[in-house]
Homo-oligomer: A and B are copies of this chain.
């Protein structure tokens, strides 16, 4: 497994979504002693993962009824109580009655904990699952494939159905959104709407925040790569750094969060625009990176561009890269008000988090632990 952030792109053609016919044989493994030790520690947190099988009333004539019959056939597979055997199937189903991005984001983050396990995992994201029939169909497919199921279902009745169906069919399931909504409901003392994201009248998209975000994205794209330095004073955040320090992807990532970002490339021997030295230094974030890592990134870049040998040396040659980094460092040293951020081996999300924390920290020193505050 090799992942970082939410950057992986699916490969629909090389990896078709699962079908019942193609479900692989499922070798069985006992839980490893290492896992057991870890599970005991985790049990202190939340009581561990349970596979419950609630009683379903036979008089129910919903799609759940046929489900109970199917479940009976499967009973032998899920017998065994707490000592249930865990199959080695590595499919994960994500089911949502909205976009599914919350499930994808959370599971992606959690998968980061299994980077070195040597496992290969497939996720299948089902979005806009807004009726029970479709929900049950997906869970049946998960059961046949030996997949586990994460769900984010705003509609409480759908969430209940998902849990019941997963339990009946022996599909390990986790409700991602439910506990968070419950927590907030308890905290605020009000009930959630239960409306899905797409429900008419639920989302008020055309508010100030929407327009502000759009403006931030458009501003950021226009200022990319040092264009329009006369607009630097209008930026919330300005990124500077030599080529291939990730200024462009960082800019667009931060812009999605509603900040106007400008970025200025530092090129050996070229003076940065004067306006850069006129803006508030706390808005400027100077990116640095380890020499060998930058050289490796530039070599890959040169290959992608298909440039010739000489041009490649001018771009990724050791001496030249070192000199360019020195050139940038000297400018950074002359501007002690700029925060210098090391981007070596950091994912875009990580650098963005560091920058935004510093940005907000710099603007208010009244709290002992820096944080990013938002009002809803």
Contact = CB atoms under 8 A, between A and B. Distances in A.
Given A150-B180, A371-B125, A92 B10 contact: no
A39 interface: yes
Interface residues of A, number: 165
A6 B349 CA distance: 14
A187 B376 contact: no
Contacts of A98: 109, 350, 353
A191 B31 CA distance: 10
Nearest to A113: B192
A101 B348 CA distance: 12
Contacts of A194: 38, 113
Contact of A188 (B44, B117, B211, B352): B117
A197 B5 CA distance: 10
Interface in A152-207: 152, 154, 156-157, 159-160, 163, 172-195, 197-198, 202-207
A16 B186 CA distance: 25
Contacts of A297: 206
Contacts of A110: 177, 180-181, 184, 192
A231 interface: no
A110 B180 CA distance: 6
A257 interface: yes
A259 B184 CA distance: 35
A16 B363 CA distance: 9
Nearest to A260: B9
**Which 6 A-B pairs give the minimum distances between C-beta atoms?**
A9-B258, A113-B192, A99-B353, A12-B363, A7-B213, A17-B367
A227 to B, nearest CB: 11
Contact of A371 (B124, B160, B259, B350): B124
Contact of A113 (B121, B193, B212, B346): B193
Interface string A39-71: 101101110110000100000000000000000
Contacts of A9: 209, 212-213, 216, 257-259, 374
Interface in A93-145: 98-102, 105-107, 109-117, 119-129, 134, 137-138, 141
